[in-house]
């Protein structure tokens, strides 16, 4: 090559050009913000901090927008209305500052994807990103440019209804999924009309509500916040430039998130350099009065603004109080200006000043075949096969008659799950519909609901269900939770199957027919008894619009289940909180414990040993984090580490041989865990550090490679510094968190 470095020279020139361009653009935006800010009255600044609910717009709305009293709105009913309100803001208000229109687009807008907990079970971030991209395309067509998602709360308590909206109990998996979803919503360029601002929520530790009761207090110390709850938010901001953050309802250690200056200023702004918008969760500013953190709305408004909440959603306490607080010297003008800068910056980044209106003439992508197909794939990959005795699944071609039973077999509304404001049940394809449509030529399906809905206790139709089962070669029982039983404010003290669902399964199992139990739910359920009575169990979560076609193809083997549990399933609700990456304890159970019915009469005080377990439940779980079966089987051999001792800045290379020893081409999610055997504080028994989706043909072996930078072992230590501590570690690789190959290595001083 005549000029060997010419291409490198071009690359460097282009890189410098693009970096200088983005710096210039940012400077340009900052200049525009300053120019605009200098023109704004205090009233107009406060208006930008005021977000109102557009669900039942008052007749004063046009005037409020014209006067600059409103900066953003959520829940606007139509793109036409959004455009008309935007026109008032843009063309009739004094400074023409556009509105931002927001909505909860959590796991789909019209085309519903699985609930986030189900999407996490796919361990497929690219699929999660695609689902969010599709949701953004569909929502932005309707004038929505800001969604209050992804929720990245770590959830270790299945009694908490919002576990459905989370990515589960693991910090690393939640980080990966949060980044993927933010990238999907925001696209490559936030100013693109199909991009919508994402929102990292709920900041912080909302999922640790005491008793799993929504909105309840949390008491998570700073070190645990930093090691467990904060990392997904930090990654969403640092790696995906998440545009906004929402404060949570809970008070942590007595301080409500919306009034927590340490978290909102020291951590979010100073440590992470966040320059986006912080929005309250609904009335969480006003609720600081109810919590007893503020005397009245005025003090709550003062604490919210001073803590760093830029926008107050829905309850109007900023609008009503900030002017007086400034006059009384309880709020500084600079604090208001900083909040308004963040809001204007977001509006500039969204391109709303230049392009405020939604193109109502553009061809709609809503429910396109591409979107529906993606939703189907996402559902297939979210399913977790928990049991498959004698490989009854996939249903063989000898199966000619199949009974379809249960309240969730044809439940188009409930199948979508929680947070589906814009979903349309008429578009949901249910298992009953899909099985008949896709496999009805070769298989006779007999359908009997047995129960009308998940809480139904009327057993009058059990006999019909049993009769149908007796005619069948296999019985599919669709049970679980109506959508309303999970999500916000829907906590449960018992997490068993509701109504008479369990009895229905028991009656069906008496027929002696093969029973396949399929569970649509927004959380782990204590289904140990039902698992015992079933030959196979498939966990569907709430699978969304295309759950039917997805489960039909999985049942008949056109697709192969690959999902793994993103949450631990307890045997009893009394075990909660239960999660795989718990800290070590001084007296761990070792499965030699004496259980309740084995205790001798008049047993001596210490005769049962002294380890950490339940007399009536033992120690182990129903199903563990990372667990999930396939129609094929996989063998792990030859775990090899590149070195057995490393410096804190080194990178460890790992290989393991994975073999598909089954009959189906299938995907295995290979999981890599580490255990820090001793630290300046007690450390988790293991932590997920990486995973890979590996697809193998029957008989195929692949050497799976991982690299593990020692910096990934860093944690916030006894002095609340993030460090890689020297010492012994165990590295584990396997198909779930319990069955793993192990090797030791040491991190040197």
Task: Write out the residues near ligand GLC by the rule CB under 6 A.
Answer: 104, 148, 201, 281-282, 488
Nearer to ligand GLC among residue 290 and residue 638 (C-beta): 290
At 410, list the tokens. 């044809």
Nearer to ligand GLC among residue 148 and residue 706 (C-beta): 148
What does the chain come to in residues? 749
CA triple 194-199-200, angle to 5 deg: 140
Minimal distance, residue 349 CB to ligand GLC, in Å: 20
Minimal distance, residue 201 CB to ligand GLC, in Å: 6
Q: How many CB atoms lie within 10 A of CB 290?
A: 12
Minimal distance, residue 53 CB to ligand GLC, in Å: 8
Minimal distance, residue 142 CB to ligand GLC, in Å: 16
560 contact partners, CB below 8 Å, separation of at least 6: 554, 630, 631, 632, 664, 665, 666, 667
Report the C-alpha dihedral over residues 407, 409, 412, 415, rounded to 10 degrees: 90
Nearer to ligand GLC among residue 49 and residue 704 (C-beta): 49
| Contact call for residues 667 and 676 (beta carbons, < 8 A) | no
- Catalytic residue, chosen from 281, 310, 414, 535, is 281
Question: Which has the closest alpha carbon to 134: 643, 724, 546, 608?
Answer: 546
Burial 163-183 (b: 16+ CB within 10 A, else e): bbbbbbbbbbbbbbbbbbbbb
- Any bridge partners for residue 645, and if so which? 746
Minimal distance, residue 68 CB to ligand GLC, in Å: 23
Nearer to ligand GLC among residue 53 and residue 502 (C-beta): 53
Minimal distance, residue 290 CB to ligand GLC, in Å: 14
State yes or no: is 281 an active-site residue: yes
* Alpha carbons 430 and 451: distance in angstroms, whole number: 16
| Contact call for residues 502 and 420 (beta carbons, < 8 A) | no
Q: How many CB atoms lie within 10 A of CB 537?
A: 25
At 55, list the tokens. 């669900």
CA 349 to chain centre: 25
Nearer to ligand GLC among residue 148 and residue 745 (C-beta): 148
Q: How many helices (H) and strands (E) does the chain have?
A: 20, 26
Question: Which has the closest alpha carbon to 147: 99, 194, 108, 199?
Answer: 199
Question: Which has the closest alpha carbon to 199: 127, 280, 317, 307?
Answer: 280
Minimal distance, residue 286 CB to ligand GLC, in Å: 12
Q: Give the residue closest to ligand GLC by C-beta.
A: 148
Q: Based on the number of CB atoms within 10 Å of its own CB, is 32 exposed (0-12), middle (13-18) or buried (19 or more)?
A: middle
Minimal distance, residue 494 CB to ligand GLC, in Å: 24
3-state secondary structure 345-414: HHHHHCCCCCCCCCCCCCCCCCCCHHHHHHHHHHHHHHCEEEEEHHHCCCCCCCCCEEEEECCCCCCCCH
Nearer to ligand GLC among residue 204 and residue 519 (C-beta): 204
Question: Which has the closest alpha carbon to 351: 106, 86, 107, 78?
Answer: 86
Q: Is 261 left (phi over 0), alpha (psi -120 to 50) or beta?
A: alpha
Helix/strand/coil percent split, the chain, to 5: 35, 20, 45
Minimal distance, residue 165 CB to ligand GLC, in Å: 8
| Contact call for residues 166 and 116 (beta carbons, < 8 A) | yes
Nearer to ligand GLC among residue 74 and residue 518 (C-beta): 74
Minimal distance, residue 250 CB to ligand GLC, in Å: 11
60 contact partners, CB below 8 Å, separation of at least 6: none
Nearer to ligand GLC among residue 542 and residue 564 (C-beta): 542
Nearer to ligand GLC among residue 281 and residue 553 (C-beta): 281
Q: Which residues are catalytic?
A: 281
């Amino acid at each position: 090559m005549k000029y060997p470095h010419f291409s490198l020279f071009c690359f460097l020139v282009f890189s410098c050009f693009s970096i200088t361009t983005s710096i210039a653009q940012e400077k340009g935006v900052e200049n525009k913000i300053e120019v605009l800010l200098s023109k704004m009255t205090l009233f107009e600044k406060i208006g930008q901090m005021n977000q109102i609910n557009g669900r039942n717009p008052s007749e004063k709305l046009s005037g409020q927008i014209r006067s600059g009293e409103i900066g953003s709105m959520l829940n606007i009913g139509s793109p036409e209305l959004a455009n008309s309100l935007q026109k008032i803001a843009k063309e009739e208000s004094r400074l023409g500052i556009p509105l931002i229109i927001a909505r909860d687009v959590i796991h789909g807008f019209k085309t519903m994807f699985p609930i986030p907990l189900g999407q996490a079970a796919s361990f497929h971030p690219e699929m999660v990103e695609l689902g969010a991209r599709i949701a953004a395309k569909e929502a932005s067509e309707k004038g929505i440019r800001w969604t209050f998602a992804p929720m990245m709360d770590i959830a270790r308590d299945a009694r908490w209804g919002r576990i459905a909206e989370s990515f589960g109990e693991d910090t690393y998996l939640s980080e990966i999924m949060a980044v993927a979803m933010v990238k999907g919503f925001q696209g490559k360029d936030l100013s693109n009309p199909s991009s919508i601002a994402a929102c990292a929520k709920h900041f912080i530790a909302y999922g640790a509500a005491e008793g799993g009761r929504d909105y309840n207090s949390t008491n998570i110390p700073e070190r645990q916040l930093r090691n467990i709850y904060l990392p997904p938010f930090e990654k969403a901001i640092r790696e995906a430039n998440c545009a906004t953050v929402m404060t949570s309802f809970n008070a942590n250690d007595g301080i409500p998130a919306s009034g927590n200056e340490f978290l909102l200023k020291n951590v979010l702004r100073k440590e992470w350099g966040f320059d986006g918008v912080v929005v309250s969760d609904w009335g969480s500013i006003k609720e600081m009065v109810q919590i007893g953190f503020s005397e009245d709305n005025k003090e709550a408004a003062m604490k919210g603004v001073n803590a760093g909440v830029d926008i107050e959603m829905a309850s109007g306490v900023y609008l009503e109080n900030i002017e007086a607080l400034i006059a009384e010297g309880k709020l500084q003008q600079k604090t208001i200006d900083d909040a308004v800068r963040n809001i204007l910056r977001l509006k500039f980044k969204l391109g709303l000043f230049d392009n405020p209106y939604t193109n109502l003439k553009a061809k709609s992508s809503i429910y396109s075949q591409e979107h529906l197909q993606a939703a189907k794939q996402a559902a297939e990959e979210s399913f977790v096969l928990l049991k498959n005795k004698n490989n009854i699944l996939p249903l063989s071609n000898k199966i000619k008659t199949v009974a379809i039973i249960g309240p969730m077999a044809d439940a188009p509304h409930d199948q979508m799950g929680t947070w589906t404001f814009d979903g349309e049940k008429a578009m949901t394809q249910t298992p009953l519909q899909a099985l008949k449509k896709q496999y009805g030529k070769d298989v006779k399906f007999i359908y009997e609901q047995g129960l009308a809905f998940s809480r139904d206790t009327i057993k009058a139709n059990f006999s019909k269900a049993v009769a149908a089962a007796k005619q069948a070669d296999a019985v599919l029982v669709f049970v679980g939770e109506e959508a309303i039983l999970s999500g916000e404010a829907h906590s449960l003290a018992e997490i068993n199957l509701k109504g008479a669902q369990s009895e229905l399964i028991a009656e069906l199992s008496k027929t002696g027919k093969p029973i396949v139990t399929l569970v649509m739910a927004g959380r782990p359920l204590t289904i140990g008894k039902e698992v015992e009575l079933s030959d196979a169990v498939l966990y569907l979560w709430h699978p969304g619009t295309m759950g039917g076609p997805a489960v039909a193809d999985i049942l008949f083997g056109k697709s192969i289940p690959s999902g793994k549990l993103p949450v631990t399933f307890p045997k009893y609700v009394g075990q909660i909180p239960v999660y795989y990456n718990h800290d070590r304890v001084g007296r761990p159970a070792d499965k030699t414990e004496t259980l309740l019915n084995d205790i001798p009469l008049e047993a001596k005080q210490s005769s049962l040993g002294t380890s950490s377990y339940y007399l009536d439940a033992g120690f182990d779980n129903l199903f563990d984090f990372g667990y999930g079966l396939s129609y094929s089987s996989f063998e792990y051999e030859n775990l090899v580490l590149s070195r057995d001792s490393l410096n804190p800045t080194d990178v460890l290379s790992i290989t393991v041989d994975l073999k598909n020893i089954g009959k189906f081409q299938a995907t295995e999610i290979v999981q890599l865990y580490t255990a820090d055997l001793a630290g300046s504080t007690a450390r988790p028994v293991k932590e997920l550090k990486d995973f890979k989706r590996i697809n193998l043909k029957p008989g195929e072996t692949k050497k799976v490679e991982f690299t593990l930078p020692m910096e990934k072992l860093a944690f916030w230590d006894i002095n609340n510094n993030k460090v890689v501590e020297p010492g012994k570690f165990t590295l584990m690789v396997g198909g779930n968190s319990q069955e793993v190959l192990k090797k030791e290595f040491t991190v040197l001083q």
